[in-house]
Amino acid sequence: MPMNCLEVRQLILADPARLPQEARLHLQQCQRCYGFAEEMNQLNQDLTQAFRVPVPEELSSRILLRHALEGDQPESSPVKRRGWMMALAASLIVSLSISLWLNLNVTEDKPLLAEAILGHMPHEAAIVEQAHNLTHDKRIDQVLAQINATRQGDLGPVVYATVCIIDGMEMAHLAIEEEGVHYTVMLIPTAAFSAPTWFENDRWQGVAASGAGSTVAILTDVQRQRPPAETRQKLSDMAESYQRLLGYNAASAS
């Protein structure tokens, strides 16, 4: 099964030099993750180079003088000094890794995923806009089964159902039509957002909400919609509803 962006970047942070074949295949297809891998490789090179920088002569003299004055103290032994330096270096690397990990989840993946979803919308807009006939439940279940997902009840007037690949991840793409207005519902295989998150461009507005290892995103064409406040409330209500109705099977979530 193809790896998604979050899984690949976790592996890059752990050991960029030893990526499995699935991750390397993902990098060949995903420009964002390829760029992230390049940044991490450059960072590793910079860290290696930094540890090779010689100590300035003045600082070296001060260190030697201090060691001479403290020569009788057990804690100044060469073994303990080397251990202290190694511990410091390890702490710096761990701190940097944590910082990068937090930055990846808080400041990078969220806008990138939202951007990828918005960028995908025009590709199927023309087809969805012409869809008015209700999709059979069997077709909906087939689409969900393709990504090992399931539904817990009636999804409403679904007029379009397929599986899309967005930002390297397979996700269900459903279209709901209510009162002549189409709403896109996407089930995404990662809990990307810690709180409901809004995103929009000149044409589309949407909200994404995560829970239980998955994310539901609801979008609509604002050019064909009701007043902004009503649209926002409608999308919010739908996100809450479809979070309860859609999800991944336990085997997939583990």
What kind of fold does domain 122-253 have according to CATH?
Phosphorylase Kinase; domain 1 (3.30.200)
Q: Say how far residue 231 (Cα) sits from the centre of its chain.
A: 26
Q: How do residues 63-83 score in pLDDT, each as one tens digit?
A: 666 666 655 555 545 555 555
Rounded Cα gap, residues 66 and 158, in angstroms: 76
pTM summary value: 0.56
Residue 98 corresponds to which tokens in the numbers above? 């944590």
pLDDT of residue 105: 41
At which residue do the structure tokens 């991840």 appear? Answer: 169
219 bridge partner residues: 184, 206
Q: How do residues 1-17 score in pLDDT, each as one tens digit?
A: 677 777 888 888 888 77
Rounded Cα gap, residues 147 and 161, in angstroms: 13
Q: Hey, where are the domains in the chain?
A: 5-108, 122-253
